[in-house]
Amino acid sequence: MTYSPPFTLNNKIVSLVANISEQLGRLLATQSSEQSLLLRKVNRVRTIQGSLAIEGNQLSEEQITAILDGKRVIAPAREVQEASNALTVYEQLDSFQFDNEKALLLAHKQLMLGLIDSAGQYRSTGVGVFKNDQVIHMAPPEGLVPRLMNDLFAWLATSDDHPLIKSCVFHYEFEFIHPFADGNGRMGRLWQTLILKQYHEVFTYLPVESLISSHQDDYYKAIADSTNGTNSAPFIEFMLSMIEKSLQQLHHNNQAVEYVTPQVTPQVTPQVTPQVAALLKAMVSAQEKQQLSPKVITFKREELQQLLGLKDKKSFNQLYLKPALNEGVIEMTIPDKPTSRLQQYQLTELGKLTQKF
């Protein structure tokens, strides 16, 4: 008899699926290829930073971007290796078949390369999930893992459930089995992205992990509630709500790309303040006056303050510099040393897009 994971659908889940489908249709109709390419890189970094942060990695988006660009980052070697591996795996996402168990093992081998000896192999010992030194989940015995994973992939390949539902169920079941000695959280989130990618290309660069990172307690609670109830509905509901919020954020980012111009205004996007808009305008205007390539336009903090006619360092940092960095429209030239006296700032990919209008 074919295995089928236990789950039920409620009204909220059905409503979330409908809302997500509607948002996807709207994106497909309005998003340009230029926007897609720009947001793909920006959100890929956010995805990886969010997924690694859930597992305790402290690297910032700026540091991961630096690793992506081949720059040296001063940070714990293991954290840099984790980020480098994740960047490699996500770049190869198109080469993995979502319902192929061997593909999952290969992805895990690349994701955990140099981090554990058993990369690409199912665990050979028992394993538990801990939180604050307390066991919150004891995974099935190691001897059952191959059969459980085989059953799960057999269901994945034959299930006619909606891809949104199927991806959430697989993610939960994967975390319940906990098939690897390490890297289970990263792999579960990666494989859900891969399953969703078959449904809509936008999931390739939708940073759901970034939202999960900021809702970690709810994430683990949804897993625990599903386990206690022998029904993954709580986890399905949680993940769909994160997907819905990520799509809403992506819509706002699309608006940012659409409205960013050399005459940046406070209407750039609801998340961009008038101060950040003014900073962007000043940087773009300075670039135009000097006729510099966007690749070499960099500014010291003092120069940015001078461009804006501001004298108070603390006010500038709080109202202009930090919000602009958080929004991803500017970046540090030395991300691993935020307080370096040599630190300068430049437009990001999103900021550079202003030069095209």
Active site residues: 178
Residue 134 known to bind ligand: yes
Residue 131 known to bind ligand: yes
**Residue spans of alpha helices (H) in the chain:** 11-30, 33-54, 61-68, 77-91, 101-111, 145-158, 163-177, 184-199, 208-214, 216-229, 233-259, 274-290, 301-308, 313-316, 322-327, 349-352
Residue 70 known to bind ligand: no
**Distance from C-alpha of 325 to C-alpha of 333, rounded to nearest angstrom:** 12
Residue 185 known to bind ligand: yes
Residue 184 known to bind ligand: yes
Instruction: Note whether 276 and 323 are within 8 A (CB).
Output: yes
Residue 351 known to bind ligand: no
Instruction: Note whether 82 and 56 are within 8 A (CB).
Output: no
Residue 90 known to bind ligand: no
Residue 189 known to bind ligand: yes
Instruction: Note whether 197 and 203 are within 8 A (CB).
Output: yes
Residue 320 known to bind ligand: no
**Distance from C-alpha of 159 to C-alpha of 198, rounded to nearest angstrom:** 14
Residue 137 known to bind ligand: yes
**Distance from C-alpha of 196 to C-alpha of 270, rounded to nearest angstrom:** 28
Q: Which residues contact 74 (CB under 8 A, 6 or more apart)?
A: 336, 337
Tokens of 284: 């773009």
Residue 317 known to bind ligand: no
Residue 183 known to bind ligand: yes
**Distance from C-alpha of 310 to C-alpha of 227, rounded to nearest angstrom:** 56
Residue 129 known to bind ligand: yes
**Which residues belong to the annotated binding site for ATP?**
129-137, 182-189, 219-220, 228
